[in-house]
Structure 1
Amino acid sequence: MIRFEHVTKRFRGTSKPALNDVDFEVQRGEFVFLVGASGSGKSSCLRLILREDQPSEGRVVVLGRDLHSLSSRKVPYFRRHIGSVFQDFRLLPNKTVFQNVAFTLQVIGSSRAFIQQAVPEVLALVGLEGKDKRLPHELSGGEQQRVAIARALVNRPQILLADEPTGNLDPATSVDIMQLLARINAGGTTVVMATHEAGFVDQMKRRVIELRGGVMVRDDRHGGYGDTSAIPSLTPQAEKGAAATAALTAVLQLQREIAAQPAPAAPDAAVVPASDPAPATTTEPEVDPAPGTRPIKIAAPAVDLDGLGIGGLDADGRGVADRLGLGQEEDEVGPTT
């Protein structure tokens, strides 16, 4: 059905080949996963099968035809036997669901009677009955992907190529699409799917071809996704000191804002020395100040650093601000005139 014979693909301007001596064969009716990291060569394989590219070395044989010897004039006829589904749906935004699916048949010159029969049948197959008159923007992402699958299947192809078909979908919708592809495969259609979805590959236990840097490193008949250690974790890493720094920065900013507030002027104010030995407190002093003067006391606002997990004193009785070198003594501002 599909045969790669020691295929190497090089692109101009790159020293490393996209595919390097890839050799495998897919039988009729198989469901095959192409897995591997981004840039491993999965999409390059699909483009070669679809005759969008040609190999630099080796042969690609699809449906008994050597694609190297296939003339450009015959490529559109060859592609009628292959359906393709992509991650971004690629629907015509101004056409209804029915018109999007029928467009494939119109391009190849199918009769109006055949279109009127085939389109409702394939829409029922993908679970879109009653939605034939809706526009793409009126559908959910999963429904749009079902339209794309229906469009790929309406010509009853022998091979279905799927390039990350669940990449833009939520997990629940992705499960529905995978179940749909499994039903399509059960009907006799050969399915080749490039994917990063390790969970689906592990659960379905179909044939897995793994690519790594353009080289085929594994071909398991009933395999799983394989090594997932290269997939990055989404667990955020704690940044030490970030909460403490944020809290202290807020305290110091509030101190500056309070100090910048102007005090009401008083006539004939006497000057109070800035080096008043009395300790600064947040309450009014017991001794009244001299007439015409009003000392202003500024103290750091109370901030619950314990609630942030950074409060408490060390063995020397120092707070977190002192330990970080950010502590400040209370300032006493003299009266204004």
Structure 2
Amino acid sequence: MSAFISITDVHKVYRVGAGMLRRGQALQAVRGVSLAVAKGASYGLVGESGSGKSTLAKIVMGAERPSAGTVQIDGRLMDGRASALSWLRTCLQPVLQDPYGSLNPTFCVRQLVDEPLRIHHKGLSARELTLRVNTLLAQVGLPTHLALRHPRELSGGQKQRVAIARALALSPQCLVLDEPVSALDVSVQAQVLNLLDDMQAERGLTYLLISHDLAVVAHMSDHVGVMYLGALQEQGPVEQVLAAPRHPYTRALIAAAEPVRGRLAEPLQGEVPSPLAPPSGCVFHPRCPAASARCRREAPPLRQVAQGHWAACHNA
């Protein structure tokens, strides 16, 4: 199966405190990430806050330019040119974390959903727009009478369904799901996740899922990448990585999410180091219970530890 998203050695560096006469400090938000997402598959990125997941998602969506490395979407190089970005807007759409903040409160549901169509398909008549909106609302499980309501009149689950309908308006091939259910009540999360599963099966969509919730990643993803301080620490088939994790950070995340299953893992100590002053050697060594002198001086490469399974650990 060919790769729909291909990320090769991507870096993203921000300058903090830069000014006219100051270069500022380098904050490396993403460090040498390479991954591939097969067409029609789901890839989950997991890690603590500040691990670089959302920055990488912004690079894939074209909202940020990488400082180094390349991103290809469906074989097309995303080089920042206007033509590439224009094509990307119809090919790939985001579903963001907060449905309360991602929907314009002054628009009714019909305006929210048909806005992409009005921008990209200017020749559609009012009747065609209405039919298209009603079809999209039906596909995400919303009655058409909600089309005239405003976001403040909807529940959290309904808002996220509207956001999904809007993302599907241009018939994209890929959705970038950035914490798509974390702002919702637990009782609603499963409904939205099942809806996303159904949409993927019906449309053959590719998903890049960003989440801190391992249960969501396990439910949604075919492959998973575990990020820490801007770099991938482990990646592979989701069942393999979660059943037999090879990196101590992955084991610690599983232990935090599932204490009974992860009871043999050491709990994480301390805080994530500042990306302005990352540790020498392995970036995880200050919090790793198995760190050695080698870990403190030598950064481990991401190497294959099983078929399709990679880990950046000297002891993997």
TM-score (normalised: structure 1): 0.64
Match of 2:109 in 1: 97
Match of 2:88 in 1: 78
CA contact (8 A) 1:162 1:192 kept: yes
Summarize the alignment of residues 222-301 of structure 1 with structure 2, pairs less than 5 Å apart.
222-223=238-239, 226-227=250-251, 228=253, 231=256
Deviation digits for residues 97-124 of structure 1 (CA, Å, limit 9, x no counterpart): 1111011111113412442232111111
CA contact (8 A) 1:31 1:185 kept: no
Deviation digits for residues 195-251 of structure 1 (CA, Å, limit 9, x no counterpart): 112222234563111111111112122336643268599xxxxxxxxxxxxxxxxxx
Match of 2:34 in 1: 23
Check 1:202–1:78 CA distance in 2 against 1; reply closer, same or farther (3 A cut).
Answer: closer
Letter in 2 for 1:17: Q
Of 209, 228, 241 in structure 1, the residue corresponding to residue 225 of structure 2 is 209
**Aligned equivalents of 1:144 and 1:11: distance in 2?**
33
Deviation digits for residues 253-307 of structure 1 (CA, Å, limit 9, x no counterpart): xxxxxxxxxxxxxxxxxxxxxxxxxxxxxxxxxxxxxxxxxxxxxxxxxxxxxxx
Q: CA deviation at 1:174?
A: 0.9
Deviation digits for residues 16-62 of structure 1 (CA, Å, limit 9, x no counterpart): 41111111111110011111111111111111111111111111111
2:173 equivalent to 1:158: yes
Match of 1:48 in 2: 59
Q: Which of the two has greater helix per residue?
A: 2
Q: CA deviation at 1:144?
A: 0.4
User: SS of 1:10's equivalent?
Assistant: strand
**Aligned equivalents of 1:140 and 1:5: distance in 2?**
40
Of 93, 103, 122 in structure 1, the residue corresponding to residue 136 of structure 2 is 122
Q: Which of the two has greater strand per residue?
A: 2
CA contact (8 A) 1:84 1:160 kept: yes
Match of 1:219 in 2: 235
- Identity of counterpart residues, as a percentage? 32
CA contact (8 A) 1:7 1:55 kept: yes
CA contact (8 A) 1:50 1:82 kept: yes
* More deviation, 72-81/43-52: 72-81
User: SS of 2:148's equivalent?
Assistant: coil
TM-score (normalised: structure 2): 0.68
CA contact (8 A) 1:126 1:149 kept: yes
Deviation digits for residues 50-94 of structure 1 (CA, Å, limit 9, x no counterpart): 1111111111111222112x4135523321111111112211212
**Aligned equivalents of 1:142 and 1:177: distance in 2?**
7
Summarize the alignment of residues 320-335 of structure 1 with structure 2, pairs less than 5 Å apart.
none
**Aligned equivalents of 1:3 and 1:107: distance in 2?**
28
Check 1:205–1:149 CA distance in 2 against 1; reply closer, same or farther (3 A cut).
Answer: closer
2:138 equivalent to 1:135: no
**Aligned equivalents of 2:113 and 2:46: distance in 1?**
29
Letter in 1 for 2:188: T
2:189 equivalent to 1:174: yes
Relative contact order (C-alpha < 8 Å, sep 6+): which is higher? 2
* More deviation, 109-118/42-51: 109-118
